[in-house]
Chain A
C-alpha cells in the first residue's frame, strides 16, 4: 500500500508570474480521503498560500470543481484511491475559464449568462398569497426534476470545447436550467427564455459533443436538455411558418 501520493498542482500568483506554473506536493496516502482532503492537507500542513474554493465537502455546493488529470471533477467526490496506482495526480483549475489565482477561476461570465435566462418561476399574473401555493402533481415534477439537480459546479462548461472556442456561448448548465423552468408546470416564462437562447450564442451554439452530460456529477444531462430545447424551437418555427395562427 502506498504511503504517499504526489499532487502536481497548478499555481498562478498574478503578482509574481505572468502565467501558471506547476508545484509538487507529497501528501500522505489515506484510502478514506478524497482529493479535496489532500488539498486541504497541503493548505494546512505544507503551503498555506495554495488557493482553491471549497465549502460543503459533500457534493452539494459545487465549489470544488477542478481538472483532475485532465478531466473535470468535483474534488470532494473523487477518492484518492482512484489514482493511487498512478502515484501522482495533476490538479488544475477548470479549463475554459480565466484563472484568478491558483485553482480559482473567474465565474462572472457564467453568472451573467445564468441571470439572462431568468432561472426562476415566471407568472403572467401572480396570485395573492391568500390563495395558497401553486400545486403540482408528482408526474409534473418528474418532467423537470432531473434538470433541477444542477449545482452550478461548472464541470459541464469545462468539458465543452464550444465554451473554449466561443466564450459567449451560453453553455450547458444555463440552457439546462432554462429548460428546468420551461418544463415546470407552474412556469409561464418559456417565451422570454426562448428569446434569450434562440440565437447562435444560445442553444444553437451547441454542436452536441455530449461531454457535458458525461462529467455531470448530478446526472442532469445538459446535452439532453439542449437538444430538447432545439427541438422545441424548431417545432415553434415550423408552426409559425405553416399554421395561420402561428405557434400559439
Chain B
C-alpha cells in the first residue's frame, strides 16, 4: 500500500530513534496457534500431490491397460502405501481444520437471521459424506 517504515518518529519533542524488533525465523514456534496455522498450511502440499497423482492415474488409463496396470502396481509398493497413509492423514487434518474455519468466511442470512455456525459446519460434513458415499457406490457397485 506504499507505506514506509521509518527509523525515526517526529513529534513536538523532536526526533526519536525507533527500535525495530526483528522477526525471528522461528516465529511459528512462538505459540501453539502459529504452529497449528503452519501445519494447516503445509498439509495443503499433500492435497496438491494427491491431485497430481490422480491426473497421472488418468493419463495411465488413457495410455492403455498395460500402462495402467504398471501404474497400479507402483501404487502398491510399500513406499507409496506409506506416502498415501501419511498423505491421507494430512489431507483429513487439512479438511477438518478448514471446515472448522468455514463459518468465519460465510455469513449466510435468511431474512434477519444469520445461519448458526454449527449448521454451516454440519452441512459441509454432510456434503463430504454424500460425495464419499457416491464415490463408494461407483467403486463398489460396478
The B-contacting residues of A in range 79-118, CB under 8 angstroms, are: 95-96, 98-101, 106, 108-109, 112-113, 116
- Beyond the given pairs A71-B31, A207-B41, 9 more chain A to chain B contacts, judged by CB atoms under 8 angstroms and listed by A's residue number, are A70-B30, A96-B23, A99-B19, A99-B21, A109-B4, A165-B27, A170-B1, A210-B104, A213-B104
Give the chain B neighbours of A20 by CB distance below 8 A: 19
> A98 touches which one: B5, B30, B107 (CB < 8 A)?
B5
A contact residues, range: 35 or more
Contact A196 B1 (CB under 8 A): yes
The A-contacting residues of B in range 63-118, CB under 8 angstroms, are: 101, 104-107, 112
Nearest 5 pairs between A and B by C-beta? Answer: A227-B105, A98-B18, A99-B19, A14-B17, A164-B23
Contact A113 B3 (CB under 8 A): yes
Chain B proximity of A236: nearest CB distance (Å): 16
Q: How many residues of B contact A (CB 8 A)?
A: 28
Contact B19 A116 (CB under 8 A): no
Contact B16 A100 (CB under 8 A): yes
> B9 touches which one: A95, A106, A113, A168 (CB < 8 A)?
A106
A142 to B112, CA, bound (A): 9
Give the chain B neighbours of A61 by CB distance below 8 A: none
Which residues on B are within 8 Å of A, measured CB to CB?
A: 1-6, 9, 16-21, 23, 27-28, 30-31, 33-34, 37, 41, 101, 104-107, 112
* A12 part of interface (Cβ distance < 8 Å): yes
The B-contacting residues of A in range 209-248, CB under 8 angstroms, are: 209-211, 213-214, 221, 223-224, 227-228, 230-231
A199 to B3, CA, bound (A): 14
> Knowing A14-B16, A14-B17 touch, does A224 contact B107 (C-beta < 8 A)?
yes
Give the chain B neighbours of A214 by CB distance below 8 A: 33
* A202 part of interface (Cβ distance < 8 Å): yes
Chain A proximity of B140: nearest CB distance (Å): 37
Give the chain B neighbours of A59 by CB distance below 8 A: none
* A167 part of interface (Cβ distance < 8 Å): yes
Contact A161 B27 (CB under 8 A): yes
Q: Give 27 pairs: A residue, B residue, CB < 8 Å, sorted on A.
A: A12-B19, A14-B18, A14-B19, A18-B19, A20-B19, A70-B30, A96-B21, A96-B23, A98-B9, A98-B18, A99-B19, A106-B18, A108-B6, A109-B4, A109-B5, A116-B1, A161-B28, A165-B23, A167-B3, A207-B41, A208-B101, A208-B104, A210-B33, A210-B37, A210-B101, A211-B34, A221-B104
Give the chain A neighbours of B104 by CB distance below 8 A: 208, 210, 213, 221, 223-224, 227
Chain A proximity of B111: nearest CB distance (Å): 8
Chain B proximity of A177: nearest CB distance (Å): 14
Most buried by A among B3, B23, B33, B34: B3
Give the chain A neighbours of B107 by CB distance below 8 A: 224, 228
Give the chain A neighbours of B2 by CB distance below 8 A: 168
Chain A proximity of B17: nearest CB distance (Å): 4
* A19 part of interface (Cβ distance < 8 Å): yes
Contact B18 A199 (CB under 8 A): no
Contact A231 B18 (CB under 8 A): no
